[in-house]
Chain A
Amino acid sequence: MKARSEVIAQFTQVAREQNKPLAPLTDDLPLFDSGLDSLCFAIVVVRLEAALGVDPFDTDEEVHFPVTLGDFIGFYENAAK
């Protein structure tokens, strides 16, 4: 649950900082419909690594880019296991 709440917190904080209107954060929300752009996601990822101690993108395995918010949260939940 920590990953989920941290992801939501970072989305909210980065949207506020960058003055982006944020869509309601449901699991089926496509990431690029959330209101955040590439730079925002890059900021979210680096802050999540600092907060959770994991970067699920940093792996030698083939990474498939997450498309929905649910995919994105799942990425971090799996990495934390």
Chain B
Amino acid sequence: MRAFWRNRGAAIGAILLAFVFTLAASAPLLFPGSPWDMAGAPFSPPGEDGFLLGSDSLGRDVAAGIAHGAFVSLLVGAVSTVAALGIGVAIGAVAGTFGGWVDDAAMRFTELFQTVPGFVLAVVLVAIFTPSLGSIVFAIAIVSWPPVARVVRAEFLSLRSREFVQAAEVLGRSRFSIVLRDILPNALGPIVVLASLMVAGAILLEAALSFLGLGDPNRMSWGFMIGQGRSVIRLAWWMSVFPGLALFLTVLALNLVGEGLTDALNPRVARRR
């Protein structure tokens, strides 16, 4: 933990991330009412007409949109990562534990997903299931689990040959208990690091989907705001720049945290700094 905070980039990332969290949590208090409602004159520049970050073509408050959009971004990022972890860990663990033809079959199945371009698959899935928070989360999870399965499998394979796992085998413990108590806890490090980077990836993917108009029509989202501001960027730059900046900072923060975690969980790298 101390190693994490000593890394300046990771500390900045964590603070940024905490700020985004607070923003998402306090959005209903800071900006009561729906971010879709008209709040004043359209195309007001930042700082005028009571709009901190300006208003959009329909007079909606950009600041309110960013605050409410933060909630959607974090929610989609977190839930789809948890779902992807669930699928990836399960498949990777089965492949790594049983080996042999089970491993071969599981890995070929994983490769099937890796060969399809992730974004295209996500677009198709959301289009088929009609855009909603649920279908977006589902689509993102489906396209982002293969790396998890690969990492978990590799960790399991290396841990399985470690002596403490062999000792557990000799004691006659069940496979399930060995996986749960001996292997999985020792494989958590890389999984946690991967997860923090996957949240960033999921947020970007969600933004990209809603940029294309495949977002949840009832939820304000950063990608949607950028997409909407795109056509009037010369007229009202603030409509796309501020949501873009929010997106950039959040993803940057997650990457910094992920890198900090890598270093903190890998003592050999941490000590060299």
**A pairs with B:** no
Q: Which B positions have Cβ atoms within 8 angstroms of A?
A: none
Q: Which A positions have Cβ atoms within 8 angstroms of B?
A: none
